[in-house]
Chains A and B, each alone.
Chain A
């Protein structure tokens, strides 16, 4: 079930990217897309009844049923990349606002 929600969230992000004119809203759409994708990748590794892949003094042996650690590691990477992309995009947005005085793409006049 959660995978359908993740796919729906991705589609909401794509819709936002296609229709929005405001630069900040475009960046927010990109983030929604990314969150949907991350949830989807995590859900691929889920095993019914599995526990988090960390050995502790309670769950102390690798013979227990764990969820897949590999998608989690990949999503950790993906989140960090997302932070970098968002920061860079926001810096661009601020430069655009300094130059044109607006965040709306239609109102920006070429030189």
Chain B
């Protein structure tokens, strides 16, 4: 009975979404079918051309060329990164805060005197020694991802997650392993505060919060895009230590009284 009602409700919701998206009247705001999106009518064209703040009507922007364009509005070759850490950096600060609050909540819920959880299985020889080989490569790859976040796919969030995955592997491969949770907390606090300090420096030097006050350099260079790589490294450290802390919380259990 309950299932039948749920199916009816879900189908009604689906029909509503479908008609609202695909059969509404053709106003300028009408939803475009898949693949028909037109960037020239959207703000995104400004992100691609690195030409958001200039007056769009006054001049046709010159094309940004990889390895040649100097001192563009934001120098990062990865356009998604330029949106995430430059144009909408304040948004990202809020996002990092949400992740911090979630990690704090996990820490509170799983607090108390902790010891390592009872082993569900004994790690095999291959797991133990394979992890030793892979671990360094994983950490280096994570660091590579967040230092090159403004040039290649990836960035602070994915790099931090890979570092946290390395910590998870340590937990899986050794039943006695316990990470130093305090070090994670210090790292995440320092990285988060430095992000805010970078924003306040922008406020002092450029006039608004999180202003990109460093020279943006040549598009495509490692040392380009001003504060974008610095902020992404901070985000990577913060996310990595935060998710590692969450993993450490789940891998331990309360000491039996």
Residues of A within 8 A of B (CB): 1-3, 7-8, 10-11, 14-15, 18-19, 43-48, 52-57, 59-63, 66-70, 72-73, 76-77, 79-81, 83-85, 87-88, 90-92, 94-95, 98
Contacts and interface: CB of A to CB of B under 8 A. Distances in A.
Interface stretch (B12-20, B127-135, B202-210): B12-20
A91 B10 contact: no
- Interface of chain A, helix or strand or loop or mixed? helix
Contact of A15 (B6, B50, B249, B250): B6
A54 B35 contact: no
Contacts of B38: 47
Interface residues of B, number: 63
Contacts, number: 152
Interface string B114-127: 00000000000000
A69 B47 CA distance: 8
Contact of A11 (B13, B48, B91): B13
B172 interface: no
Nearest to A75: B80
Nearest to A67: B37
A61 B79 contact: no
Contacts of A83: 99, 102, 161, 243
A87 to B, nearest CB: 5
A94 B250 contact: yes
B102 A63 contact: no
A80 B157 contact: yes
A7 to B, nearest CB: 6
B78 A54 contact: yes
Most buried by A among B9, B38, B79, B157: B79
B71 to A, nearest CB: 15
A68 to B, nearest CB: 5
B14 A7 contact: yes
B83 to A, nearest CB: 4
Interface in B42-68: 42-44, 47-50, 63-67
A66 B79 contact: yes
A43 to B, nearest CB: 6
B237 interface: no
B103 A87 contact: yes
B10 A15 contact: yes
A106 to B, nearest CB: 12
24 contacts: A8-B14, A44-B32, A44-B37, A45-B37, A55-B66, A55-B220, A60-B65, A61-B64, A62-B64, A68-B37, A69-B44, A69-B83, A73-B80, A73-B84, A77-B95, A79-B157, A80-B98, A81-B98, A83-B102, A85-B102, A91-B105, A92-B109, A94-B250, A95-B110
B175 interface: no
Contacts of B152: 54
Given A45-B37, A48-B36, 13 more contacts: A3-B34, A15-B10, A53-B79, A54-B152, A60-B66, A61-B65, A62-B49, A69-B80, A81-B99, A87-B243, A90-B250, A91-B106, A98-B254
